[in-house]
Every structure is written in structure tokens, then in C-alpha cells.
Amino acid sequence: MGSLLSLVIMVVSLGSLICAIIVVIQLFKEKGPLHGILGIICGLYTFIWGWLNAARLNIRNIMMIWTALVVVLIVLQVLAGVLGAGRAAFPQ
């Protein structure tokens, strides 16, 4: 179960990274290299900037997918933590 959960987390993380790269490319085009580098360093800046400019840049679908992936990733990470804590508390 743990390895399957890890695999799902990796796939969801990869999808999230792809969405982030697409938005960072738009950020470089719109705001220049300084904001683009800031977007690479701070993913939260890229995420917020993407939502603020989603309609104008026609990336609303990308942002909705990215948001859904982030929410799913948070749920999966919590689930993995709970399962890991359960295994540590009740070793077999």
C-alpha cells in the first residue's frame, strides 16, 4: 500500500510541476526574467500570479488543474503521514 501511495504522489507531483512550468513560461513572457526567476524560486508567487492573470492569458484551465493537483497532493501527503504514523505506533 505504501509503495502504491508513493507512486500516486509522484505522478500527481509531476503533473503539478508541469502546470507550474507552463505558468512560469507565461510569467517570463509577460514580466521578464526577474519575475520569472522569482517564480522559479517561489512557487507560491507563480501560483498567485497565475490566478490573477488566468483570464487575460487564457490559462484558466491550467490553473484549475494545478489547483486540483495541489489539493489532491495535500490530501495524499496527509494520508501517507497518517498511514506512516499508524505503522510506527503499531509495528507488526
What mean pLDDT is predicted for residues 20-33? Answer: 97
Per-residue pLDDT of 49-86, as tens digits, reads: 999 999 999 999 999 999 999 999 999 999 998 887 76
What mean pLDDT is predicted for residues 33-42? Answer: 96
- The per-residue pLDDT for 83 is 84
- The per-residue pLDDT for 3 is 84
Is 91 a residue whose pLDDT tops 80? no
What mean pLDDT is predicted for residues 2-10? Answer: 90
Q: Which long-range contacts (CB under 8 A, 24 or more apart) does 48-57 make?
A: 49/23, 50/23, 50/26, 53/26, 57/26, 57/30
- Cβ-based neighbours of 16, under 8 Å, separated by 6 or more: 66, 69, 70, 73
- Report the mean per-residue pLDDT for the chain: 92
